[in-house]
Structure formats: C-alpha cells, structure tokens
Amino acid sequence: NSKVIQTPRYLVKGQGQKAKMRCIPEKGHPVVFWYQQNKNNEFKFLINFQNQEVLQQIDMTEKRFSAECPSNSPCSLEIQSSEAGDSALYLCASSLPGSNTEVFFGKGTRLTVV
Amino acid sequence: GEQVEQLPSILRVQEGSSASINCTYENSASNYFPWYKQEPGENPKLIIDIRSNMERKQTQGLIVLLDKKAKRFSLHITDTQPGDSAMYFCAASDQGGRALIFGTGTTVSVSP
C-alpha cells in the first residue's frame, strides 16, 4: 500500500473555481513532487520541494497553480481558477534526498472540471 | 525540453512469453532509471530501477539493461502472466530531488 497519502481521491469543480488537493509524504521523505497525468496517461511535472523550499517548477505552475509544503502540515497543490483542461489525475510523490533515490507515488487526486 | 522516448506504445504477448520495452534518453547526465507499473485506476508503482553504475539488474522475473553509450535502457518481463497486464512507464533523472522525466508509457496485454 502506498505510504504517500493524497486527499481527496476525487474532486469535481466548476470552471473558474478553486481546486485544492493535499499530500502527506512518506514519513522521513523531505522531497515531494507533484505531477499531472492527463487522459492520455502522459506525465507532466509541475513542482517539487525539499522540505519547504521549491526545487523546480514549470512555467504553468507559476501562474494559476500554487503549491506549498509547510512544516508539520500536509503539502498542497491549488489551482486558483480551474479550467476544463486541468481535468487530470494529480499525483504526489516523495523520496529521500540525494542522488538515485526511489520515488514513491500516492494514489492521486482525480480532478474533473465541469 | 528533455525527453524520454518509450517504445512500443502497445505490446500484446502470449502468457509465458517475454515482453520487452525500450527507452532512450537525451540527457547524458541521467544516472537513475526507474520503471513503474500502473494498473487502471491505480497509482504508479515502482517495480525495478537501475543506476548508472550498473549495466544489468534482475529481480522476480524482471530484467533491466542499461547502455549508457547509446543512452538506452530496457525492461524485460520474463514468463509473462495475465497479472502483468498494465501500463509500464520508464523514467530518468540526473540528480536526487530533480524531477523524473517519464516516457509515454507502454500498454502491455498478456493473453492466456
């Protein structure tokens, strides 16, 4: 069973609404990733953190998407104004720091924007 | 941007035969190559990985090969079973904490 916990499993929002999803990484994993997996099963990297610091993020993330990993709280990914094209499976993953470390995924939040 | 190419996109095999998936990568600094299995409605699960200091790794009916000169790595599922039917993704990364770059996936279908 996945030790990366994502909530909610399913999320339905209207266009223009905010959509927020949460992730609790595996215990002891300071590195957290967010990916979007579209209906064609393609992975798109969004952002990653080490502890509370952003390591990498793509341009799309900087505009309508925001994310944070506060200490002692779940990480979160929020879409400020949902669009139909945001409908996808949002996967959170975590790992230990350092090179060549295994990355483990949560079960994801399936967002549907109607 | 960096890409990982994965072929074939669909692979149909008979139970008991082997299945092979190939991936190529662009970034010569890539040093970690995991493989994930994803069943419908489920999360991707890490099934095997290989690091750049190895050329071959084997575990429980899975073999991965890495050819750094050719920037190519492959997954071989030996003695396939119906339970091996799923999507398989290869990925590559060049540094701990940096994003994995995923291939486009292979749908493996094992028929009895």
Instruction: For residue range A64-110, list pLDDT tens digits in order.
Output: 999 999 998 999 999 999 999 999 999 999 999 877 789 999 999 99
The rounded distance, in Å, linking the Cα atoms of A66 and A89 is: 16
**CB-CB under 8 Å, B95 with A55:** no
Residue with tokens 């990366």: A4
What's the pLDDT at B15? 97
Q: Which of chain A's residues have a Cβ under 8 Å away from the Cβ of B96?
A: 31, 95-101
Strand partners, B62: B59, B77
**Residue B96's pLDDT is what?**
63
Q: Which two tokens stand for residue B104?
A: 């486009």
Tokens of B79: 């003695």
CA distance B60 to chain A (A): 18
Q: Is B92 near chain A, with CB under 8 Å?
A: no
Percentage of residues in chain A having pLDDT higher than 90: 82
- With a cut of 80, say whether residue A2 has pLDDT above it: no
pLDDT of residue A1: 67
Contact call for A33 and B38, based on CB within 8 A = no
Q: Is A45 on the interface with B (CB under 8 A)?
A: yes
Q: Residue type for B95, please?
A: Q
Query: Which residue of chain A comes nearest to B90, CA vs CA?
Result: A43
Helix, coil or strand: residue A86: helix
Q: What is the mean pLDDT of each run of 10 residues along chain B (112 residues)?
A: 91 97 94 96 95 95 97 97 97 82 97 93
Q: For the beta carbon of residue B3, count every other beta carbon within 10 angstroms.
A: 14
Q: Do B97 and A95 touch (CB under 8 A)?
A: yes
Question: In the prediction, which pLDDT does A27 show?
Answer: 93
Give the mutation candidate from B35, B89, B100, B106 for the A interface (greatest A CB count, under 10 A).
B100
Kindly list the residues from chain B whose CB atom is less than 8 angstroms away from the CB atom of residue A51.
none
A102 shares contact with chain B (CB less than 8 Å) = yes
pLDDT class for A59, splitting at 50, 70, 90? Answer: confident
CB contact under 8 A, B105 and A41: yes
Of A2, A41, A55, the CB nearest to B98: A55
